Amino acid sequence: MVIVTVTTLGLPLSGHDWIIDVLEDLRTYAKRNGMTDLARKTDETLAVARQEIAAKAQSGGEPGTGAGGAQGGQFH
């Protein structure tokens, strides 16, 4: 079992930045533990996440809204 804890070292994460941090941590874990397929897929997922976050920012979308977004700490 892997337990992931997201910390900000007292600094607020803006919008969707936290998911990039989580995915980067997962990629690092996978590489350190010889999970090459997981590391590769995480690289792909990071690219998709960055593209979607950038597109949402360009369209003026608010973090945590829309289909599949989180609001008030709850996933919908």
Domain ranges of the chain: 17-61
What letter would DSSP give residue 72? Answer: T
**Helices then strands, each counted (H, E), the chain:** 2, 2
* CB neighbour list of residue 26: distance below 8 Å, 6 or more residues apart: 4, 38, 42
Task: Check if the beta carbon of residue 31 is closer than 8 Å to that of residue 39.
Answer: yes
Split the chain (76 residues) into runs of 10 and give each run's mean pLDDT: 49 73 96 98 96 87 52 43
Q: Is 71 helix (H, G, I), strand (E, B) or coil?
A: strand
Token readout for 62 is: 């608010």
Residue 15 · residue 53 · CB < 8 Å: yes
